[in-house]
Structure 1
Amino acid sequence: MNALHQYLFDTYRAARLGEPMPPAPGTHDVAVFRAVRDRRRLDRATAGRPARGTVRRTVRRWLTP
């Protein structure tokens, strides 16, 4: 069963029981990614390491021959 099937079951169950509908799959993905990014920046800043540019620098290092 994938996320869409589970969502359909949950919406059916919520409609039958008169409960609020669950959010659609993928609704909060952007917020989760931002929260993870902010947490990683906080961890790097508290450890005394630079908090910006690490992903670009790593990708550039991987792609540069």
Structure 2
Amino acid sequence: MSITQQYLLDTYRARKLGEPDPPAPGAEDWQVVREVREHRQFRAVLAGRPAHGRTRQTLGRWLHLRPRSTC
């Protein structure tokens, strides 16, 4: 059974029982992504690491460490 079929079945059952419709699949995905990001930032602060810009700092270090070609 696909996600869409399960959602339609749950919606049908909820309407028959007079309950509110369940949230559509994927409706809360961005909220979950935000919460995961905030949790990672919180854990970084607790561990004494910077909470922002870690990826950019790492990429900057990698780019500066590579020997430059003299073409």
* Structure 2 length-normalised TM: 0.74
Residue number in structure 1 paired with 2:21: 21
How many Å apart are 1:50 and its aligned residue?
1.1
Larger radius of gyration: 2
- 1:12 maps to a residue whose letter is Y
Q: How much identity, in percent, do the aligned residues show? A: 52
Distance 1:22 1:55 in 2: 37
Change (3 A) 1:9 1:57: farther
Q: Describe how 1:26-41 pairs up with structure 2 within 5 A.
A: 26-41=26-41
Question: Which structure 1 residue ranges, 4+ long, deviate > 6 Å from structure 2?
Answer: none
State the SS of the aligned residue for 2:55: helix
Q: Secondary structure at the match of 2:49?
A: coil
Q: How many angstroms does 1:57 deviate by?
A: 4.6
How far apart are the structure 2 equivalents of 1:57 and 1:4? 42
Structure 1 residues without counterparts, runs of 5 or longer: none
Matches within 5 A, 1:1-65: 1-57=1-57, 60=59
